[in-house]
Structures are given as C-alpha cells and as structure tokens.
Amino acid sequence: MRSSLCGKAHGMRSLISWAVALGALLSSWGAALAKGPTTEQSAALKKVIVFYRQVGDEAAAKQLEVEIAKGTILFGKTSENVNAECDTGSKLITVNAGSVEALGASDMRGWQATASLAETLYHEMIHQKQGRWAWTCSYWQEAVGKGNPCEQQAWGAAMQRLGDWIRATERELDSQKNAHPRVQAETARRLQLLYGELVVVRNDYKAVGKKIGELRLSDASGRTVDVDAFLAAYESASKKAANTIALSKQVAVSFNGSYKGTVSGPITGTIGFRVDGFTVTGRFNASAEATSAGFDPKGTPFDIAGARGSGPMTVKSSVSADISGTIDVDGNLKATIKGTLTEAGGRTPSTRAFTGELSGSISKSLTAKGKWSGNGKPGSWSAAK
C-alpha cells in the first residue's frame, strides 16, 4: 500500500488469501459493499481520463474507459481505508468513496488530486491483469521472505508510468518557449506536482520494499536503476519547473488571489471570487426591494407587477449563486452564474433557478470590472484584490 497526495493510502488488499474459497468469500463481500459511481464519482473518473490524455497516455485512458464501461470500477469502503484496491478473483477495483472529494477543487489542488488518483488506478489496473494463482504464489513468497512479484509488477509499472508523465509534461513546457509566461508557469506547476507525486510514491515504496522486494526501473537513458536513482533522474525537471515559475513571477502580472466588490443593476449586492491560474470561482449575492400595488408571481424576475385585488405590498428579490469560469493571460474573465432566485412578499414566496453570465477583465493594478446578465436582466460589477 502507499499513501497518496489525497492523504490516504492505496494498494492491493493486504496478502490475498491463500485459500480460494476464502478469496471468493472476500470477493462477494467487497462486491456487496461497493456500488457503481454516482454523478460526482463518474465526473472524477472522467477527470482521470482527461489527465491521462493530457500527459500523452492514450493507452491508460482507453483502458480506464473500458473498465468503466464493463462496470469493474466501484466505489465504497476499502480495507484499511486505502484509496483503492483490486480483487484478483472478481477483477473489481473498489475506489474509496472519500478519496475523490478533493478532485472537485477547481484550482491546482483538484489537478493534484486527479494526478494522484490516476497513479493509484494505474497501479490497480495492473493488478486486474494478474490471476489468482499468481497472487497465491506471490502470497507464499512474501510469507517466506522472498518478496511479492505481483506487487513488484504493479509498483514498478505505476512508478515507471509516472516517470513517463513527467517527461511528457517537461516536453510540453519545452515547447512553450514563445508562450506567455503565465502559460509556461501553469505547465511548470503541473510538472512540479507530478515530481512531488513521484517523491511520495518512492517514499511509500520504501515503507513496504522489504516485504515486496526490490524494484528495478529504467531511467530516461534506458539504464536499469533502483528507485532512488530513478527519482534522481527527474530532479532536473523539477528544477526547470521551479526556475520557470520564478521567471514568470518576474515578467508577468499574476492575477492570482481573492477579489471582493459590488454588484449593480436591477439588483444590488456583493461579488467575491478567487483566481487560481486560469480558474475563477466565487459567489454572487444580490437583492432588490420594491413596493407596488401587487405582485405577479408569473412575472419576470425583479419585475414588480400589479395583480388585481392583491393590494399594496413590499416584494424582495434575492439571488444567491456560484461563479465558475476562466481567465486568460491578459486578464479577460468569463464565467457562468448559477444559483437560486427567491422572491418573497407575495401571497406565496417564489423560488426558481437563476442562471447567467459574468464577463469583464482584471487590470495590471489588480482592479476588476465588467458586466453580468441573468434571467433576462443585465447589470455591472466591480471588484479589487
């Protein structure tokens, strides 16, 4: 097993049972406890597939797509709370349901968690290809201190693949010499995270290395090396990433940070958002209040219309919504606004969906302004870091 950047461990179930009957029983228990993916969990798996393709690993992406289609990727509780485990009898991979929460982050933390789960699943997909007989033999070899060939294969293949992903991302960075410094910095941050993942995997292997046996890997030049030499071969990539990020800070304006401001228009209120790389997330809260002869619950949001015989009343419209979008290298921002609109004061409070768009830009002085629209109504906004 190994700990991951998600904060938990992953690996095969410790020492698959030597008895086939007991192994079958464990398989049935695991299948009963695990469930097919929810919408959120399916989204997490799709992120892993996107990650594989981003680092040029089409084979891993297709393999995971096949396993998802076959229904062999489940979610539930895992033994010893590991991130994921594979049962060699049923060929089912169970992902710890709690380990995917971090993938929902829209900034680099989400990408980091995705990279960690991608390495975890690659490890477990190696185990899927191993037979129960091979695991029975591996169990007895480990029991008598001769190592565990099945775990050696999975650890070695996953670590080797992680090295390939680092090299692919380094090549991507090298190809961006004429790109905007912020674009280079974004790739460099991904490169740093992958190197950090390799450090974690190496350290976790060290914790179990005496049990499963020594790993021999191939470095970028094709030499056969141990895990420490394999890690050392990627130190230059990590240093290149650090240098790129440092240079980017010197020559480019960083829009990263939190911004707060006001909303104006038919409703007024506050806006707050955070920029992390090219990602924008935040909140949009505003309201309007008016007194009229009546309230038409079928009217357009924010409109106060007369309703025969209803009499005068004060109507308050309030919006509470999330902001999610992107920002480019020049500070141009574009996002969606999704939440709820509540109109109170009529005979029956009315609540409905609120959807809209937010656009604008952030200047070099780190002040921002733009326009918003939602449910047929336009307005403006401004904010500052």
Average pLDDT of the chain is: 83
Return the pLDDT at 376. Answer: 85
Provide the CA 128 distance to its chain's centre, in angstroms.
24
Q: Give per-residue pLDDT as tens, 186-241.
A: 999 999 999 999 999 999 999 988 999 999 999 878 889 999 999 999 999 999 99
Q: Which residue has the tokens 């470095």?
A: 219
Q: Give per-residue pLDDT as tens, 85-123.
A: 998 888 899 998 888 888 877 778 889 999 999 999 999
Return the pLDDT at 82. Answer: 83
Beta-bridge mates of residue 380? 264, 371
Q: Which of 10-14, 79-83, 115-119, 313-317 has the highest mean pLDDT?
A: 115-119
Q: Give per-residue pLDDT as tens, 150-201.
A: 999 999 999 999 999 999 999 999 999 999 888 999 999 999 999 999 999 9
pLDDT category, 32, cuts 50, 70, 90?
Answer: very low
Return the pLDDT at 100. Answer: 82
3-state secondary structure of 232: helix
> What does DSSP say about strands 279-292 and 313-327: parallel, antiparallel, or unpaired?
antiparallel
What kind and span of H or E run contains 316? strand 313-327
Q: CB–CB of 384/373 below 8 Å? A: no
Amino acid identity for residue 16 in this structure: I
How much of the chain exceeds pLDDT 90, in percent?
54
Q: How far apart are CA 324 and CA 284, in angstroms?
A: 10
Q: Which of 12-16, 49-53, 325-329 has the lowest mean pLDDT?
A: 12-16
Give the domain 257-384 fold: Lipocalin (2.40.128)
Per-position DSSP letters for 254-282, written without gaps between them: ---EEEEEEEESSSEEEEEEEEETTEEEE
Q: How far apart are CA 268 and CA 279, in angstroms?
A: 25
What kind and span of H or E run contains 193? helix 181-212
Per-position DSSP letters for 41-64, written without gaps between them: HHHHHHHHHHHHHHTT-HHHHHHH
pLDDT category, 135, cuts 50, 70, 90?
Answer: confident
Within 10 angstroms of residue 384's Cβ, the number of other Cβ atoms is: 13
Q: Name the more confident of 134 and 312.
A: 134
Q: How far apart are CA 5 and CA 122, in angstroms?
A: 15
Q: Which of 2-6, 259-263, 312-316 has the highest mean pLDDT?
A: 259-263
Return the pLDDT at 220. Answer: 78
CB neighbours of 83 closer than 8 A, spacing ≥ 6?
Answer: 4, 6, 8, 9, 10, 95, 96, 99, 116, 117, 120
For the record, the structure tokens of 168 come out as 């692919």
pLDDT category, 305, cuts 50, 70, 90?
Answer: very low
> What does DSSP say about strands 93-96 and 73-76: parallel, antiparallel, or unpaired?
parallel
Q: Give per-residue pLDDT as tens, 9-26.
A: 333 333 333 333 334 344
The residue ranges of every structural domain in the chain are 2-251, 257-384
Q: Name the more confident of 263 and 308.
A: 263
